[in-house]
Amino acid sequence: MLKKIKIFIFLFAISFSYLLHGFDDRIIVVVNDKVILKSEIQDSINNLSREEVTKEYSTLSEREIIDKVIEKMIDKTLILQAAERYDIKISDIALENKLREIASEQKLTINELRNLVINSGLDYQRYIRELRDEMTMNALFVSQFYSRANVTEEEVDNFIRREKINEQGNIIYEIIEFVIIDENKTIDRDSIDNIYSYTIKTNFTEAKEKFTEHDIKITNLGTVDIESLPLLYVNALKNVNSNEYTDIIKSSKGYHILKVLSAKNQAIAYIDEYKVRHILIKPDPMTSDKEVKQKLFKLRDEISNIDEFAESAKKYSVDHVSAYNGGDLNWQRSENLVPEFASIMEKTPLNTISDPFSTQFGWHILFVENKRTVDDAQSIIRANIAKTIRANKAKRENDNWKAKLKDQAYIEIKEF
C-alpha cells in the first residue's frame, strides 16, 4: 500500500510538472504588493504531503488541484501580510526551540530531524521557512483571536448540559438503593423524613423491618458507571463519598435513598497545594541586592513563629496586597507561580522559613503553613471545556476576519 501511495505521489507531481513548466517562470498571482510565481506553485504541488494528497486532492481534476493550491497560497500570503502589519515576528531562538520540540517528540536530535527531512525528499530550508510561516500564523491567531475570546462560567455550564458531560470525571460507584414506593404520593413529607433519619442512623434492612406499613424495596445496583445512571441520581450523588448516603431523591415511583459503598473516580487528578506566606523586598538605587538579602536573612533569624512572620510582612513587605494580610498568599499551586518561587515553596518544610531567594519581582523569604493534596479533575474538565469553547469562538472570528481580509485585498490571478 505504501509503495502504491509513493508511486501515486510521484505521478501526481510529474503530471503537474508538465502542465506548469510548459512556459517560462512568470507571475501567476498578485496579492496586494506580493506576487506568487509559477515556480512557487509548482514547488507547493511537489511538496504536498502524502496525507494532503490522499485526503484533499486525490479526487480532483488537474485544474481543480492547481486552483486549490493557488487558493491556499493566496490565503497564506494575506495572513502573513497581516502578521507583518501587526509586527508579529518569530525569533531565531523561538524557531530553534520549536525544532527542538518537534525533534524531541520523535526522540531525535535536531541534526537527526534535519536528516529525516532531507531523506524524505524535502528541501530542509523550505521546511524551515514553512515552519516559521506556520508559527507566525499561529501567533497571529492567538494574539488577535484566541486570547481575546472570553468564556463565561455560564457558557461552560450550558456546554456541559448540552453535551451531557459529567464534570466530576468518570466515577464508578458501588450502590445499594432503598425505595419507598409511593406512586400516588399519599405519604406525607414528615413520614418520609422520619424514615430517612432512621435509615441513615441504622441501615436499610432495619429500616425496612421497622416501617412495614410502607412498601419498601432494597436493591443492590452493584458496580455502575455514573454515565449509566439517571440524571436524578447523578445530581444526588455529587460530593457523596464511600459509605455515605444521598439526600432523599423524589421520582414518579416514590422516594429513593442511595448508599454509596464505594466511589472510584477514574479521572482523578491529584495536585498539591501549599498554604504559604511571603515577605518581598526589592532593591533600589539606595539598596543593593546584597543588602536586601542580608536584611531578609536577619528577619528570618529573628522570626520564631507565624505571628511574628505576619507582623514582619505587614511592616517590611512591598507586596502590599499580601502584606495587609500578614504576607498570606492563601493556597497556591506550583503551576501558578514563577519557577523560582514554586521550587523553594516545594522544598521548604512545613512551619519553617526559607532562605532568601530572588525572582523577577525581587527578593523573598516564605513561610509554608500547610500542604494538602486535592482532586482537581473537575477544574481540569471545566478548563478543557472552556478551551474548546474559546477555540471555536476564535475560529469563527478568524474565519470572518479572513473573509473580510480577502474582500478588501487586491488579488489578480493571471492565465497560465
Same fold, 86-147 and 270-375: no
**All cell numbers assigned to 30:** 498578485
Burial of 3 (0-12, 13-18, 19+ CB in 10 A): exposed
DSSP structural state of residue 163: H
Q: What is the pTM of this model?
A: 0.51
| DSSP result, 115-134 | HHHHHTT--HHHHHHHHHHH
Q: Report the alpha-carbon distance of residue 151 to residue 158 in Å, rounded.
A: 11
Choose which CATH entry (1.10.260.40, 1.10.10.10, 1.10.4030.10, 1.20.1740.10) describes domain 86-147: 1.10.4030.10
Which residues lie closer than 8 Å to 414 by C-beta, 6 or more apart? 26, 27, 28, 29, 30
Q: What angle do CA 35, 37, 42 make, to 5 degrees?
A: 140
pLDDT of residue 169: 60
Q: Where are the domains of the chain?
A: 1-72, 86-147, 150-169+377-416, 170-265, 270-375
DSSP characters for 77-100?
A: HHHHHHHHHTT----HHHHHHHHH
Residue 238 parent element (H or E): none
Q: How do the pLDDT tens digits run along the chain, 416 residues long?
A: 333 334 344 444 444 554 555 556 789 999 999 999 998 998 888 888 778 888 888 888 888 989 999 999 999 999 999 999 999 999 998 999 999 999 998 999 999 999 999 998 888 998 999 999 999 999 999 999 998 899 998 998 888 788 766 655 667 889 999 999 999 999 999 999 999 999 999 999 999 999 999 999 999 999 988 778 888 898 898 878 888 999 999 999 999 999 999 887 645 567 889 999 999 999 888 889 899 999 999 999 999 999 999 999 999 999 999 999 999 999 998 988 999 999 999 999 999 999 999 999 999 999 999 999 876 777 777 888 888 899 999 999 999 999 999 999 999 998 76
Give the architecture-level CATH label for domain 170-265. Roll (3.10)
Q: Residue 323 has which C-alpha cell? A: 502584606
Q: What are phi and psi of 268, to 5 degrees?
A: -60, 135
For 270-375, CATH number?
3.10.50.40
Cell of 98: 520549536
In whole angstroms, give the CA distance from residue 276 to residue 322: 11
Please list, residue by residue across 143-155, b when 16 or more beta carbons sit within 10 angstroms of its beta carbon and e when fewer do: ebbbeebebeeee
pLDDT at 7: 37
Question: How far is residue 301's CA from residue 277's CA, in Å, rounded to a whole number?
Answer: 16
Which amino acid belongs to residue 358?
Answer: S
The single-letter DSSP state of residue 288 is: -
CB of 68 closer than 8 Å to CB of 55: no
Using alpha carbons only, give the angle 377, 378, 384 rounded to the nearest 5 degrees.
90
Cell reading at 279: 515577605
Question: Residue 43 in contact with residue 130, Cβ under 8 Å?
Answer: no
* Grid cell in block for residue 69: 493550491
